[in-house]
């Protein structure tokens, strides 16, 4: 009973701030406080009339899409090598690849800023943000795809090779369809992480800010806070939908492999 009460209290503490977002997003007041003054959808309308926000959203989508693609491609290569082949220092190499998962993002952001500006002498742009997001998203992609490749029946590839297929055609026609749920899950998770990431983008963004950086800039103006709440509500709903689809694809992959689900993203 005490464990159940603890779990309920923990979930309330964790998700109560998120549930407050839509309340104030539909509140007809610029003051974020109770009691609510009335109902309005005007803050959402204001979002459609802000060109700077539209530019930030387009920039974030561009960065998130490319990050998801590059991270998943690198994840496929690493997960495939880790699941099928043996090579010297395999565990150490894979462990180093996963290090960004445990490093504080502010340390990663500052370090990359020093490397990009002082050592490489690059100008800050969307591409520097993409490179940094690929760095932090690739370990998540590997973690997802590693399970997909390990759960795949290797005898199917062997049968294709015995029937005359080349290694590349076997990978394209047999392996990829089998791990496709994991690939889609990796794409969606990487896209969500990149879209919501703030700290690294704050350090590495140039003249075109991402959406989280733009939201941070709005916090300097108290009268803009309800619009921030409205935008936050949209982001929360979009993130939940994307993560739900990713989890469904993960479970579909496990079901196809005939394995029992022992837990996932949701």
For residue 73, what pLDDT is reported?
92
Tens digits of residue pLDDT in 134-144: 988 999 898 88
For residues 243-249, average pLDDT: 75
| pLDDT exceeds 90 at position 72 | yes
Looking at the structure of the chain, the number of domains it has is 1
Distance separating alpha carbons of residues 56 and 2, to the nearest angstrom: 46
119: CATH: 1.10.3720.10
Question: Does residue 34 sit within a domain?
Answer: no
In this prediction, residue 260 carries a pLDDT of 53
Q: What is the mean pLDDT of residues 34-46?
A: 75
Q: Is the pLDDT of residue 27 over 60?
A: yes
Is residue 56 included in any domain, yes or no? yes
Instruction: Say if 139 falls within a structural domain.
Output: yes
Mean pLDDT of 111-139: 87
Could you give the CA distance from residue 64 to residue 144 in angstroms, rounded to a whole number?
18
Determine the pLDDT at residue 15: 75
The answer to the question of residue 18 being in a domain is no
pLDDT the model gives residue 262: 46
Q: How far is CA 178 from CA 43, 105, 148, 238, 253, in A?
A: 45, 34, 8, 27, 8
Does 6 reside within a domain? Answer: no
pLDDT of amino acid 69: 94
Give the residue, 264 or 7, on which the prediction is more confident. Answer: 7
pLDDT higher than threshold 90 for residue 67: yes
The boundaries of the domain holding residue 193 are 24-29+40-257
Residue 14 counted as domain residue: no
191: left (phi over 0), alpha (psi -120 to 50) or beta: alpha
- Which of 29-33, 51-55, 211-215 has the weakest average pLDDT? 29-33
| Position 16 in a domain | no
Q: Is residue 136 part of a domain?
A: yes
pLDDT given for residue 258 in this prediction: 56
pLDDT tens by residue, 79-103: 888 777 777 777 777 777 788 888 8
């Amino acid at each position: 009973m005490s464990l159940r009460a603890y779990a309920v209290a923990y979930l309330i503490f964790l998700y109560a701030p998120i549930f407050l977002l839509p309340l104030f997003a539909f509140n007809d007041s610029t003051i974020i406080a109770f009691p609510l003054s009335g109902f309005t959808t005007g803050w959402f309308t204001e979002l459609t009339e802000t060109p700077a926000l539209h530019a930030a959203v387009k920039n974030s989508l561009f960065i998130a899409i490319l990050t998801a693609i590059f991270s998943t491609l690198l994840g496929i290569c690493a997960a495939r090598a880790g699941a099928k082949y043996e090579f010297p220092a395999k565990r150490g190499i894979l462990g180093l690849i996963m290090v960004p998962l445990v490093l504080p993002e502010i340390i990663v952001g500052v370090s990359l800023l020093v490397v990009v500006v002082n050592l490489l002498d690059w100008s800050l742009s969307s591409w520097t943000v993409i490179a940094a997001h690929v760095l932090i998203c690739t370990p998540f992609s590997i973690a997802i795809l590693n399970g997909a490749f390990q759960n795949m029946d290797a005898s199917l590839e062997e049968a294709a090779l015995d029937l005359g297929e080349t290694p590349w055609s076997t990978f394209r026609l047999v392996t990829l369809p089998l791990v496709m749920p994991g690939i889609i899950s990796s794409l969606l998770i990487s896209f969500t992480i990149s879209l919501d990431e703030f700290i690294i983008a704050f350090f590495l963004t140039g003249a075109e800010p991402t959406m989280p950086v733009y939201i941070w800039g709005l916090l300097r103006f108290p009268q803009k806070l309800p619009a921030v709440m409205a935008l936050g509500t949209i982001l929360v709903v979009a993130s939940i939908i994307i993560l739900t689809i990713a989890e469904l694809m993960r479970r579909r992959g496990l079901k196809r492999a005939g394995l029992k689900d022992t837990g996932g993203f949701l």
